[in-house]
A and B are shown apart, each in its own frame.
Chain A
Amino acid sequence: MGFIGVGGQGSGHLLGGAWTYIPGGYSARRDVQVLAVCDVWKDRRETARDRVNANYAKLFGQGNYHSCEAYRDFRDVLGRDDIDAVLIATPIHWHGVMTIMAAKAGKDIYCEKPTAITIRESQAMKETVLRYGRVFQAGTQQRSEYGGRFRRACELVRNGAIGELKEIYACRPGGTFEWKRYGPPQPVPVELDWELALGPAPWQSYGGVAHAHMFVGPGDINWGPHHYDIIQWALDADRSGPVELFFESNVLQYRYANDVVVHAAQFPGDSTGSSGGARFVGTNGWIAVDREHLIASSSAILQHPPDPNGPRLYRSESHSGNFLECVRTRKRPICDIETAHRSASAVLLGGIALQLKRTLRWSPQQEQFVGDDEANRLLSTTFRTPWEI
């Protein structure tokens, strides 16, 4: 595998760490070998390379192990025939371009969230990954991790444990990107390839900022993907999406075809759900889930027996393990490209609604706003040549 972007998130995947849900990271696994690390920051890529080589030297008892190489330019990683898969953990404006180029290069892909910054980009990613038959896993790991809490919650909702689902409190809004400018101009650090850091983004002089969230815009495109990924799962909307976005008491709301309303806000007076989760309210009670909690209006709801004929959700207990298993067996991963595309769309639709501040109607089948040219104009953005999707 090759790791593209080895800052906080990427190095967590690669090497583990206190924050990560992958003990020891990919470099501690026996079922994968990391051959390349890539970053626009020289110190990051060289540190990552040295630590991977040191890990392998220890793991395999080979003191002079040095098969992991450091790259500045991700195209050199994609050009290697001996790399089957890449993990993309770069700033968000790079995710789509790199995923598409990786798929065309025949690589399987694990891509951090947010997977895309526009709906058109997300569509292009889906089409390319499907065209080349690549395995794609989105970095919305809640479907696999945290003790299966999210899966359990969604399965209970899907199996009628709270009766008919009526409302969902998403805790956070959708969101969008923004081509922010940073300044005043500063000398580019010698460690940094600023041109590659900017990539598809509009040109600007280095202003002291080159991090993963430098183009995060209004709303919450950073944490929103976790929330809406779980909501889409509970709604059985992995191949669909909302049909309407509107505002009530100045709060963004989504309506799905089954009339379920998703409030882009917390349940009044309760913060459960804030860390990536939601509160699902049905005719017979509620369930709230996040990374730390799975609670319900009554204990009977959590003990709801599984219906033998009821919906069962994809079971994965390790997001990285599921990705690697699918690379080997060509199975569909738990957060495959179509799922990722629809979850990303839910977030990005919210971002467009926040920009336009009015009711929007959306066709999940056509993937267009209905009779709304102004909104449809915001489905895409143009990248800086030569980075196209």
Chain B
Amino acid sequence: MKLVWLITLLACAVIVLPASADSGEEDRLIAVLQSSASQAEKEDACRKLKQIGSPKSVPVLAGLLHDEHLIQAVCDALETMPFEEADAALQAALKSAIGKNQASIIHALGERRNPDSVKPLAALLDDADPLVASYAAGALGTIGGKEASRALLRSLKNVKEPVRSVMVDALLQCATQFHVAGDHAAASSLFKRFTGKTERGQVRVAAYAGLLRTAGNRVLPEILSSIKGSDPAKQTAALLVAREVQGPKATQSFTNLLTQTPPTMQIALLGLLQQRGDASAGPAALAAARSAERDVRVAAITALGTLGDASAISVLANGAASSDESEQKAAREALIELRLGRISEAMVARLTTARPEAQAELIRALTARNEKSAVPKLIELAMAGTGQASDAALSGLDRLADSTNLPALVQLLVTATNDVTLVRIRRVFESLADRVVGGQKLEATPVATAFVQADRRGRIALLSVCGFFPDPRIRVLLRAALKDSDVTIQNAAARAICETRDVEMLLDLIDLAHNSKELGAPAFDSYVRFVEDEANGVVGLRRVQLLRPAYDLAKTKELKWSVLAALSGAAHPEALDLANRARADEATRAEAEAASARIAESLLAIEPNAATAALRELATNANSWTIRGFAEGVLKRFDSGWVYAGPYRLSGKQCHELFDIEFPAERRGTNRIEWRRAAGTVVLARLGEVDLAQVVGGDHCVIYLRTRVFVPKAEAVTLEIGSDDGIKLWVNGELVHANNAVRGLAPAQDYAKANLHEGWNDLLAKITQSTAGCGMMLRIVGQDGAEIQGVKFDSNGAQ
């Protein structure tokens, strides 16, 4: 089953056709603009001319600048044409246009950034229409330069809101451009004008930031002075520009401010220093981490993650053990982030002396840092007994230990002094086994060797991990232990078999299920879970073969249910047979029907005939109405109601070249075509989809789809069409839609109109295939977009 995003992904696969250079294309587009074509057609022509138009398009486009419906598309085309005819046309039109059209032309001139446009635009700054004046100001800000800024300043004196704000923004843009061009005097002169307290706060921030950027050698003292001051706009601007001032001197200066500013600013400065990443600020951040102000401490601890070295470990470990949630979170993250110096060695060394709570946090950090060199120390701590550090060490070993540590872990296991520790150590082994991937297995030698030498307690401990080792020596050992004269040893071996990860032990497991009074039920559970677990690779027929004896062995209905649940994941016809057998028993009928339905659904892709037969039978005979409905639903969605013919290919022809070639299925009177049922989709969200991905068999071909559609009365309809890739659609023999597209499938990508007769109508679709997915979606609605009641698709309708 495909996920929706996967379909989207395929739909978006980058499939391209070579660009075609058509020299007559521009003439054709110009003709469209000069014709009585619809607005939509003219807009499309403008968009194409935006890309390919030459100076000969300009007069025609300019002639449409008065058209309020086309102005946006025309300006879009002219705005980016790389020749001066476009400037001249827009400037000429500026004089006669009014209102929104004039504003649009002004904007286009601004985007073209031609200094020759400054004068005519400046003349509009005092226009009575605030829209025109605002657009003129915005355009002048975009063009920039001294003439533009002078004009803006002249008009600024008498202007009112909302135009004033636009003019101020335009002047700030001009100032920025002066700065970028190296004219700092002109830039700072402009910025200075907008620092007054009567200006809006954000304007003052922008102006101060601009002033600082143009301050040259004075930038650092100016920033420091602003930060130490009390004007929020100056402080905000200073913090912004401080990020841009490089060098150790600046870092030192900002660091020094930490002791001269209030807590709120300290927090901002610590953030600034962290993002500068200069380790010279580390000691100051470490000092701030001891601040009496909690939020300052949190900011400092966060900064230490980047700026700190081994000297920060102690403070951070204590912070991580803090009862304050924010401080603890920041310190834990910082301990993981620390990089400067030999952090891991220092952390491991610190483990010896830290208090238990801090020890636990250090272990947590070492674990998150994936620091395998810590494993010997963790084993040492784990051996030391119980307590927070020992617990943390065992948790760390869960993640960090690998097979090279097995001898030491075995030693830890056999010397464990209490059952609680034993359980924790056993979990480390389990975690090791969980992390074994790709057909590899744990090396069993340390366990097998230790078992020979161990005393009774040691053997029991070792047996508790034997299930994690799929190894012939362990098999021998377990089978022998099952027959040991010591009942405790026997039981330990039986429990290990219940946890086996060894497919060769499955017979032992089923024997145990059959024969053991105490462990029969867990052994049965374990057997079924092993078979059910996809990671063990027991799929298809093999799964059925292993579950059949389990089903026969199951003494209670609950055990039979668990087998049927495992069986439902087996996509094989024999799984259906077993499930059907279970349907005869009243006690297992409901679970067996559910299993049959799921097996049949998963079989649809590989054994469609057997699967559809099973689903039909369930839809008719299932005892549960839920299962009947489920089966009906799957069948309905799977059967698209269409039949297909093809694929058709022609050597050397690409998808788009096949679009207009007539293949046999398209010719009237051709009746020797083999039409096959076309699959739908079981994805509810994509009802109405015909999925052709499985039948195209490669790239660059054509598939035909045919069906009959019933409507209760004659009606003019809208066809909502989606296709992957191109589509032609005939209704009752008449071509109603053609789109030689290369695209992914989505609903309603195209629309077409058609007239349907009362009763059954013939539909034929031709789908072209480029690469990746292939399919069609078709929905028929009334011309008002409403659903039509009683519509039916059936390829054999009334025949």
Instruction: Give the 9 A-B CB pairs with smallest separation, nearest first.
Output: A106-B202, A382-B76, A331-B271, A220-B12, A173-B14, A252-B14, A377-B80, A133-B240, A373-B82
Contact: B306 with A274, CB < 8 Å?
A: no
Q: Which residues of B contact A378 (CB under 8 A)?
A: 50-51, 80
B339 to A, closest residue via Cβ: A308
Q: Is the CB of A172 closer than 8 A to any CB of chain B? A: yes
Known: A133-B205, A202-B43, A266-B9. A219 touches B341 (CB 8 A): no
Given contacts A202-B73, A330-B268, contact A133 B236 (CB under 8 A): yes
| Residues 61-81 of chain A, each 1 if its beta carbon lies under 8 Å from chain B, else 0 | 000000000000000000000
Pair A374/B12 contact, Cβ less than 8 Å: no
Asked if B267 contacts A312 (CB within 8 A), the reply is: no
User: What residues of chain B lie closer than 8 Å to A382, measured between beta carbons?
Assistant: 72-73, 75-76, 79, 104, 107-108, 111
Partner of A104, one of B169, B341, B743, B784: B169
Inter-chain contacts of B138 with A (CB < 8 A): 388
Interface residues on chain A, size class: 35 or more
Point out the residues of chain A lying under 8 angstroms from B636, CB to CB.
none
Quick check: which of B16-24, B488-496, B579-587 contacts chain A, the rest being far away?
Answer: B16-24
Distance between Cα atoms of A323 and B339 in the complex (Å): 25
How many angstroms between the C-alpha atoms of A318 and B20 in the bound complex?
48
Chain A to chain B contacts (Cβ below 8 Å), 16 pairs: A131-B169, A132-B202, A133-B202, A179-B47, A186-B785, A202-B72, A203-B69, A274-B9, A315-B305, A354-B14, A354-B16, A382-B73, A382-B75, A385-B100, A385-B135, A388-B107
Q: Whole-angstrom distance between the alpha carbons of A331 and B243 in the complex?
A: 9
Question: What is the CB-to-nearest-CB distance from A188 to chain B, in angstroms, rounded to a whole number?
Answer: 13
Kindly report which residue of chain B lies nearest to residue A377, judged by CB atoms.
Answer: B80
Closest B residue to A209 by beta carbon equals B748
Which residues of A come within 8 Å of B, CB atoms?
Answer: 103-106, 120, 127, 131-134, 171-173, 175, 179, 181, 183-184, 186, 202-203, 208, 218-220, 223, 247, 250-252, 264-266, 271, 274-275, 299, 303, 305-306, 308, 312, 315, 317, 328-332, 354-358, 373-374, 376-386, 388
Q: For residues 220 through 251 of chain B, which have their beta carbon under 8 Å from a beta carbon of chain A?
A: 236-237, 239-240, 243
Within 8 Å by CB of A271, from B6, B72, B268, lies B6
Asked whether, in the complex, the Cβ of B243 is within 8 Å of the Cβ of A315, the reply is: no
- Residues of chain A contacted by B372 (CB below 8 angstroms): 303
Among B457-509, those with CB < 8 Å from A are: none
| B188 on interface, CB distance cutoff 8 Å | no
Residue of A nearest to B274 (CB): A331
Judged by a CB distance under 8 angstroms, whether B255 is at the interface is: no
Residues of B within 8 A of A171 (CB): 9
- With both chains docked as a complex, state the minimum distance between the C-beta of B357 and any C-beta of chain A, in angstroms: 23
Of the candidates B80, B176, B333, B369, the one whose C-beta lies within 8 Å of that of A131 is B176
Least CB separation from B277: chain A residue: A312
Task: Say whether A383 contacts B72, CB under 8 Å.
Answer: yes
Residue of A nearest to B373 (CB): A305
Knowing A184-B784, A271-B6, A373-B82, say if A385 contacts B103 (CB, 8 Å): yes
A251 proximity list for chain B (CB < 8 A): 13-14
Question: Closest CB-CB distance, B642 to chain A, in whole Å?
Answer: 26
Residues of chain A lying within 8 A (CB to CB) of residue B237: 133
Render B328-356 as a binary contact track against A, CB cut-off 8 A, 1 for contact: 00000100010111010000000000000
Complex CA distance for A127 and B141, rounded to whole angstroms: 12
Q: Does residue B40 face the partner (Cβ distance < 8 Å to A)?
A: yes
Q: Which of A202, A220, A332 has the most CB of B within 10 A?
A: A202
Interface membership of B771, Cβ < 8 A: yes
B370 within 8 A of A: yes
Q: Does B783 contact A (CB under 8 A)?
A: yes
Asked whether A131 lies within 8 Å of B206 as measured between CB atoms, the reply is yes
Chain A residue nearest in CB terms to B79: A382
A308-B268 CB under 8 A given contacts A131-B172, A184-B784, A265-B13: no
Does A133 lie within 8 Å of B333, measured CB to CB?
Answer: no
Interface: B155 (CB within 8 A): no
- Measured in the bound complex, the distance between the Cα atoms of B275 and A179 in whole Å is 41
How far apart sit A363 and B81, CA to CA, in the bound complex (Å)? 20
Chain B nearest CB: distance from A328 CB in Å? 8
Our pick among A105, A250, A275 for the contact of B14 (Cβ within 8 Å) is: A250
Within 8 A of A (CB), among B190-208: 200-202, 205-206
**Does the CB pair B51–A219 fall under 8 Å?**
no
Asked if B683 CB lies within 8 Å of chain A CBs, one says no
B37 within 8 A of A: no
**CB atoms of B743 and A106 under 8 A apart:** no
The residue on A at minimum CB distance from B100 is A385
What A residues does B43 contact at CB under 8 A?
179, 202
Q: Taking CB as reference atom, which chain B residue is nearest A200?
A: B72
User: Once the chains bind, are A388 and B236 in contact (CB under 8 Å)?
Assistant: no
17 extra A-B contacts, CB within 8 A, seeds A274-B9, A330-B236: A106-B202, A127-B176, A131-B169, A131-B173, A134-B202, A202-B72, A308-B341, A329-B299, A330-B268, A331-B275, A357-B18, A357-B19, A377-B80, A377-B82, A385-B103, A385-B135, A386-B131
- Is B52 located at the chain interface by the 8 A CB criterion? yes
Task: Report the Cα distance A299→B437, complex, angstroms.
Answer: 10
Residues of A within 8 A of B16 (CB): 247, 250, 252, 354, 357
Complex CA gap A184/B176 in Å reads 47
Q: Considering only CB atoms, which chain A residue lies closest to B272 in the complex?
A: A331
Q: Does B513 contact A (CB under 8 A)?
A: no
The complex places the Cα of A356 from the Cα of B437 at a distance, in Å, of 46
Chain B residues, Cβ within 8 Å of A219 = 12, 14
Select B339's contact among A134, A312, A380, beta carbons within 8 Å: A312
Q: B784 contacts which chain A residues (CB < 8 A)? A: 184, 186
Verify A377–B72 contact, CB threshold 8 A.
no
Cα distance A228–B603 in the bound complex, in angstroms: 38
A32 to B447, CA, bound (A): 57
Give chain A nearest CB distance to B747 CB in angstroms.
11
Distance A179 CA – B236 CA, assembled complex (angstroms) = 40
Give A273 to B287 CA distance when docked, in angstroms: 43
B419-448 contacts to A (CB < 8 Å): 437
Task: Using CB atoms, name the residue of chain B closest to A299.
Answer: B437
Which B residues between 361 and 411 are near A, CB-CB below 8 angstroms? 369-370, 372
Residues of chain B within 8 A of A179, CB atoms compared: 43, 47
Q: Decide: B82 and A376 in contact? CB cutoff 8 A.
A: yes
Asked whether any CB of chain A lies closer than 8 Å to the CB of B165, the reply is yes
Asked whether any CB of chain A lies closer than 8 Å to the CB of B15, the reply is: yes
Contact B131 A183 (CB under 8 A): no
List, in ascending order, chain A residues with CB within 8 A of B718's CB.
184
C-alpha spacing A219/B124, complex, angstroms: 41
Please report the C-alpha to C-alpha distance between residue A308 and residue B79 in the assembled complex, in whole angstroms. Answer: 51
Q: Which residue in chain A gives the minimum CB-CB distance to B309?
A: A308
Of B8, B16, B236, the most chain A CB neighbours within 10 A belong to: B16
Alpha-carbon gap, A183 to B718, bound state (A): 10
Contacts of A105 in B (CB 8 A): 202
User: How far in angstroms is the closest Cβ of chain B from A214?
Assistant: 11
Mark contacts of B47-60 with chain A using CB atoms, 8 A cut-off: 1 yes-contact digit, 0 otherwise.
10011100000000
Q: Which residues of A contact B236 (CB under 8 A)?
A: 133, 330
Interchain CB contact under 8 A, A380 and B111: yes
Contact B339 A306 (CB under 8 A): yes
Distance between Cα atoms of A330 and B232 in the complex (Å): 12
> Which residues on the B side are within 8 Å of A354 (C-beta)?
14, 16
Contacting residues of chain B (699-738) with chain A, CB-CB under 8 angstroms:
718
Across the interface, B243 reaches (CB within 8 A) one of A306, A332, A383, namely A332
With beta carbons under 8 angstroms apart, the residue of A132, A173, A266 that contacts B205 is: A132
**CB atoms of B243 and A312 under 8 A apart:** no
Closest B residue, CB atoms, query A175: B12
With known contacts A203-B69, A329-B271, A384-B72, A356–B202 Cβ distance under 8 A:
no
Distance in Å: Cβ of B106 to nearest Cβ of chain A? 9
Measured CB to CB, the nearest residue on chain B to A105 is B202
Residue of B nearest to A100 (CB): B169
Q: Is the CB of B14 within 8 A of A315?
A: no
Of all chain A residues, which has the CB nearest B102? A385
> Which residues in chain B, 308-344, are within 8 Å of chain A measured between CB atoms?
333, 337, 339-341, 343
In the complex, A381 Cα to B240 Cα: how many Å? 31
Q: Residues of A contacting B523 with CB < 8 Å?
A: none
